[in-house]
Every structure is written in structure tokens, then in C-alpha cells.
Structure 1
Amino acid sequence: MSGLGMVNAGVTTQLLVSLFRLKGVLHYGIAGNADVNLEIGDVTIPQYWAHSGLWNWQRYGDGIDNELALESGGDYTREVGYLQFSKYSNRTDNLLNRVWYQPEEIFPVTGTPEERQHVFWIPVDKSYLKLARKLEDTKLPQCVNTTCLPRPPKVTIVKRGMSASVFIDNAAYRTFLNSKFNATAVEMESAAVALISHQQNLPFIVIRALSDLAGGGSDVSNEASIFSSLAAENSVDILVKFVALLPPHESKIQSE
């Protein structure tokens, strides 16, 4: 258990890297679902992860063609994209303007010392992903007590997951993350694990079961209060099955 949010997850991962001779990182848990094609209970294994909470908040009055503060020095960029608040307001003038999503600034162990790199989408290990594909036909439980899902949950490899230290329970933002970034699993820790693993040149993979619709479902309450236990069980089940697929301890998986 790392605790809630990106900082806790990043610190915990770095401590494990510093204290143990890790050969890889397997991260698992539950997540909100931003993809209308998937259901609660499904277990997702994203191919890429990104931190969606690092922003440059643009000043009021500036437009998309205006340079961001500190952009000229390479600290910030307009390459990833933005969220414009006025598109989600009933008022004609929105002082919040827009936020631009930013890549992380990293210093990989395989890079040149003191020479920064930038990364937004972090790929999971290809060898781990190849093993994970063998789990796509796994049968998973469908009901919590007398409450059942509309269909049996499935394991699926998805394109992208996104993390930020924000619990998403908002239909408009859920739709934005999926339409803008093709994100499926949205949660609060995995991108930090991915960033540390990437910087330390360690293979990693993330298994996230969908516990709720991130605000896109019932107007009454978030579904996680009912289905988080089922999602957590499914996530652990797939993790255990994935570990069983790993080669013997003396063998080392090579990233392709």
C-alpha cells in the first residue's frame, strides 16, 4: 500500500528501487472508467500511462497562439494539448481560460547526468504486455452479493491510462479525457509508478480493474461504493495469474 495520490506512489516506488534489487514492477488496483465501450468490473491493462495533473495554467486573455509563460526556455510546451474551461460554462466569459497539459521533466539513469528529458506517454514493458495478452480470456465474477453487472467482466488491453492526484467523478471531464487522449483507466497513482520505473530503466506493467464510471453513470452516486470490492478482487486475481506466467526467478525477461 502506497497511500493515496501521485506523491505517495512515487515515493513508495523509489523506496523499493533504492532498498531492493528489483527486476520489474507490477502495479495493480482499481480505477475509474472513461471508456463507454467498457463496463465496471472489467480489468484494463493500458499500454501507455501519463500524468494528467501537470499543467501550465494560461493567463486570462491569452489564446492558443500566445506563448505560455517560460515556454521559450523549454520549461513548458503547447504540444500535448489543453482544456478550455469556457467550453464547459454557461457564461460567455470565463476567467479560468485554459490549462495546457505538460510532459514530465525526467533524468533517466541511462541518460546524460544533469541533462533533462521530457516524457508524457510512458510505455509499459513489451514483454510484460505480451504475457498479459494471455489473460484476455480469463473468466471473472459478475456479482456483488445480489447486485450483478450487465455482463461478465473481461480482461482487455487498452491504449492509455491517466493519473493525477484528483478523484474524477465528473461526466464532462471523463468524456474530455477519453476523447482528447483516448484514456480508459483514470486514477491517482499509476503514472507515478510508471515515471519512476521509466527513470530507473525498470520494466513495469499496471493492472487496473474498473470500479466506477468516473461520473458518467448515475446522477445519484458514484458506483465505486458498490463495486470497488469486486473490482479490487478482479485486479488481484489477474495479478496473481500474471505472476504465474513470469519465467523462473533465475530467468530475466528482456524488453523488446
Structure 2
Amino acid sequence: MYRPFMLVMFLLEWLVILASVNVIRSANAAVSDYAWANIRRVNQEGPYLGIVVPNSFEMSPLLQSPSFVPHDKLPYIDVAGRRFRIGKVENKRVIVVMTGLSMLNAGVSTELLLSLFKIKGILHIGIAENANPQLQIGDVTIPQYWAHTGLWNWQRYGDGPEDKLSLESNGDYTRSVGYLELSDFNSNVKDQNLLNNVWYQPEEVFPVDGYPEIRQHAFWIPVNELYFSLAEKLEGIKLEGCLNSTCLPRRPLVTRVERGISANVFVDNAAYREFVYTKFNATAIDMESAAIALVCLQQRTPFLTIRALSDLAGGGSSTSNEAAIFTPLAAHNAVVVLLKFISLLNP
């Protein structure tokens, strides 16, 4: 009687364990068993370069390029609403993912890419608005630093730069980065500046090699030094300067710049463009790059961003935003520079 009883108890324990496993699998249903099997298979052939692209019109020139060769047996894996495309570019193994618009989508997609696959570096491409009046539409910029400029502490009416911000004494906010005084752009109502000031804030980051729940702070995130140094060799590339019958004043160029900024804002405003260029020496303005930079900083992964300028933020000589015309040209030029950069990388 004793041995059958022990056998029954043993079987019951295993049933409980199996039930728990099924609950865990159900809770993580976004990654199916089939997807996990393919991810393991792909990782056996890694590591890969991760190529992160915001939108389909920016990704299409890459996928249509003869330089992109899909994996012959496993061209893609779908996970959590994202499609991870497996293949080679310039004979280098790559995984390409489209994020969708905005900081949230860019951050989530990059985190998934780094968590699921063996990635040795991230290359991010796309179009951007331009804040630097010395550059033109079609130019491709490679910033050395990125910052998220959409994290604000918005000061209440009546307070000034000398007044502490709410929760500043707790260490949650700071006045070290700088601020935008909205009345500077509303001179007729300077004495009634109800919107007051917004103070830019650094992000909280939790690096993988740090202590859990012990935050660090970062505002300007540098790209990888080796990638940025290698990008100097791109500055002589010939880029496309005409779209159909519309040509730019000069042939676009590739240039390394000091800074780019990101926020969930399409900046079609000349006054704000002039402010960020004067305040931050920013050139490229977009909605995704800083999110990717922050994830790579926390994951200690090398990254580089290549952004082609599609318009002068707030408009140049045109009365409408130029991006509606020149987005295809800018997206094409960004991909041309990406392909050349990958060709320069060691195998």
C-alpha cells in the first residue's frame, strides 16, 4: 500500500508542476512555442546586426535593394505584433524590424529585438526634420549624441528660473539641463505668460550591469565611438538629388553632426526649430531615435543612427511642409548610406 500511495503522490506533484508550466505559457502567449523554436534556431547562426526602421516607407528601399537577401528557410519571425526579418545585407547577418511611429513603439521594438535575438549592434535609419539652416533636404546626418526632449517638468504660473521645481528636492527633477520660456515667443503677452516655463529632464535608466531598482540619469546618449569614427568614411558618398523632375539646389551630402533630438512631436514650427538649434545645437529632429538610444544604453549595446533630412522644421521658402514631397528621396538616401556603412564593417 505504501508504494502505490507514494506513486500517486508523485504523479499528483507532477500534475501540479505541469499545470503551472501551462499557466506560465499562457501568460507569455505573445511568444508561441513555435516562435521560440525558430528564435533558438536563428540565434544559433548569430550574432546579428539589428536594423531598426520606423515606418514601411523607410523600410521598403532596404527590402527592395539587391543588397538585402532574406534567409532562405526562415525569412521572418512574428512576435508581439512585430515582424523580425532575417537575412543578410552586404553579406552580413541582419535582423530588420519595423517599429511604427513614436518613442513607445521604437523602445518596445528595440527591447524585443535585444531580448529575443543575439544582437551585436543596432543600426537605426529613417528620415528626420532639420533644425540646422546650413544643411538642406536630402542630406544624411549621423549625430554623435541623442536626447529625448519630450520629458518636461512644466512650471506653474508665477514661478521663475530661481524657484525649485515640484519634487526637485526629492531628486526626481532637476534644473541642470535648461528650460524653454514660452513668453519668449509671445512678446505681446510677455507679462501674462500663463504657460510659463518648461524644464527639460534627463531620463531614468537602469543598466543591465547596474543594481536593480537603482536609477541612473541620462540626457545626452552617445552613439558607439567606433561606429561614429567609421562613419567618417561615408562623407564622400554620392546621393540622389532629384525626385522625378524636382531637383534640390545641390547634391545631398553625408555629414556627421553633434546632436539629434527626439520627442513625440512633429515639429512644423520655425520658432521651436530655432530654439532647439540654438539651445542644444541639434540638427536632426525625429520621434524614435532617442528611445532606441536609451534602450541600447541600458542594454550596453553599440548603436548608430542614420537620419536623412526630409524638411526644414517649420518650413523654408515653401508655404507647406516639404516632407510631403521629399520623403521618398530622403528615405532612399538613408538606405544608401546604411548599405555603405554595413559594407565597411568587419565580417
Q: TM-score, normalised by structure 1?
A: 0.96
Aligned residues, how many?
248
Show structure 2 runs of 5+ residues with no match. Answer: 1-97
Match among 154, 158, 165 for residue 68 of structure 1:
165
Following the alignment from structure 1 to structure 2, what is the Cα–Cα distance between the partners of residues 70 and 220? 43
1:135-146 alignment, distance < 5 Å: 135-146=234-245
Distance 1:84 1:219, change over 3 A: farther
Q: Which runs of 4+ in 1 moved over 4 A?
A: none
Residue 17 (str. 1) matches residue 114 (str. 2): yes
Aligned-residue offset at 1:9: 0.3
* Partner residue, 2:341: 242
Question: Considering only aligned residues, what root-mean-square deviation do their CA atoms show, in Å?
Answer: 0.8
* Partner residue, 1:91: 189
C-alpha distance after superposition, 1:17-60 (max 9, x if no partner): 11101101000000000001111100000000000000000010
Amino acid at match of 2:158: G
* Partner residue, 1:4: 101
Following the alignment from structure 1 to structure 2, what is the Cα–Cα distance between the partners of residues 216 and 176? 15
Aligned-residue offset at 1:91: 1.2
C-alpha distance after superposition, 1:165-211 (max 9, x if no partner): 10010000000000000000001000000000000000000000000
C-alpha distance after superposition, 1:45-104 (max 9, x if no partner): 000000000000001000000000000111000000001111111213110001000000
Secondary structure class of the residue paired with 2:306: strand
Secondary structure class of the residue paired with 1:197: helix
2:131/2:285 contact within 8 Å kept: yes
Secondary structure class of the residue paired with 1:91: helix
Q: Decide which structure has greater helix share.
A: 2
Amino acid at match of 1:168: V
Amino acid at match of 1:174: R
Identity %: 67
Residue 150 (str. 1) matches residue 249 (str. 2): yes
* Partner residue, 1:232: 331
Amino acid at match of 2:337: I
C-alpha distance after superposition, 1:97-120 (max 9, x if no partner): 010000000100122222110000
1:174/1:216 contact within 8 Å kept: no
Match among 34, 38, 43 for residue 135 of structure 2:
38
Match among 221, 246, 258 for residue 122 of structure 1:
221
Secondary structure class of the residue paired with 1:24: strand
Q: Which has the higher contact order (CA 8 A, sep 6+)?
A: 1
Q: TM-score, normalised by structure 2?
A: 0.71
Amino acid at match of 2:255: T
1:101-250 alignment, distance < 5 Å: 101-218=200-317, 220-248=319-347
Q: Between Structure 1 and Structure 2, whose CA radius of gyration is higher?
A: 2
